[in-house]
Amino acid sequence: MKLCHNSEFQFLYSILLKNPQNAFQDQAGIKSQWKRLNYLGPPDFARAEEEYQGFVSLLQKSIPELHFLPQDANTGLDSIYVRDCLLLTDHGAVLLNMGKAERRGEPKAAGEYLSSIGIPVLGEISGEGCVEGGDVVMWDSRTLLIGQGYRTNTDGIRQLRVLLQDLVEEFIVVPLPHWQGPQDVLHLMSFISPLDRDLALVYSPLMPVFFREWLLAQAVQLLEIPEGEYAGMGGNVLAVAPRDCIMLEGNPATRALLEKNGVKVRLYKGEEISRKGAGGPTCLTRPLIRRG
């Protein structure tokens, strides 16, 4: 499999997923884990499966290859959010080390599956180092943005620099705010979703000044998530191609803003698979190959 992953907005050709059957397993599995994992409520297993099928049907309309992780005894509910455990490069996958301790079994399980479909493992983050995929944005072929916060730490960033030293020229570290504390899910991609080379959906109240100014210096137009819809995950959108995205329903003002600026928007229902676990379409997917 020839890999190519040079941005977060190029045409999405191949993607990694994990369905509720293999992540949640059943309602009993949900009942035993949801409080410990800090979910807003227990997902309903049957409705989650129905929502997920709708989400997959939407992906299939534009993405040629969909791969699904199998069930693994060392993973739990959060493994449905596959983005966080891996980083893809042109030379293979980096197995990350999760800042949320309950998720530590996910990278190894995902790496074993990738090896089975011909994707090599370039390296891994280990020891005290932590990096989660929601904190990593490939801005272009030689520029990587990484959020430093409760889920991604200094040692993890140092290890990633070493692993990618021949692949990345500019490594921009973005300090993340305390916001709602270490139990909350705040990643770099919680407040920026690239939509094209010169367009991004952002929530400026959480952005460091230097980072916002850096984006503006790259001639990037910043579309501000309307107040009131950040909490509804309005900013978590998945670009499947330049100015073509999938987003969670229930954020009409954000949708209108995107469409006004020439972005095609497709909606999915995600009360069970997204809202209760605070994971939108970027979290539910790990792009494997983006092209052109």
Q: Domain segments of the chain: what residues?
A: 11-291
Residue 123: exposure state from Cβ atoms within 10 A (0-12, 13-18, ≥19): middle
Per DSSP, the chain holds a count of helices (H) and strands (E) of 7, 15
pLDDT exceeds 70 at position 3: no
Q: Is residue 20 packed enough to be buried (19+ CB in 10 Å), middle (13-18) or exposed (0-12)?
A: buried
Express each pLDDT in 197-227 by its tens digit.
999 999 999 999 999 999 999 999 999 999 8
Rounded average pLDDT over 42-46 = 98
Percent of the chain with pLDDT over 90: 93
Provide the pLDDT for residue 2.
Answer: 59
3-state secondary structure of 241: strand
What are the φ and ψ backbone dihedral angles of 123, each rounded to 5 degrees? 175, -170
Residue 263 has pLDDT above 80, yes or no: yes
Has residue 83 got a pLDDT over 60?
A: yes
Q: Which pLDDT belongs to residue 285? A: 98
CB 95 within 8 A of CB 108: yes
Find, among 171, 118, 124, 115, the residue nearest to 148 by Cα.
171
Give 241-262 pLDDT, tens digit per residue.
999 999 999 999 999 999 999 9
Please check the confidence at residue 6 and state whether its pLDDT lies above 80. Answer: no
pLDDT higher than 80, residue 1: no
Measure CA 95 to chain center. Answer: 14
pLDDT tens for each residue of 127-174: 999 999 999 999 998 999 999 999 999 999 999 999 999 999 999 999
Burial 124-150 (b: 16+ CB within 10 A, else e): bbeeebbbbbbbbbbbbeebbbbbbbb
Element (H, E) at 144: strand 143-148
Q: Which are the contacts of 158, defined by CB distance < 8 A and separation ≥ 6?
A: 129
pLDDT value of position 184? 83
User: Which pTM does this prediction carry?
Assistant: 0.95
Kindly state the greatest CA–CA separation across the chain: 51
Instruction: Out of 3.50.50.60, 3.75.10.10, 3.40.50.2300, 3.40.50.150, select the CATH number for domain 11-291.
Output: 3.75.10.10
Evaluate whether 158 touches 129 at the Cβ level (below 8 Å): yes
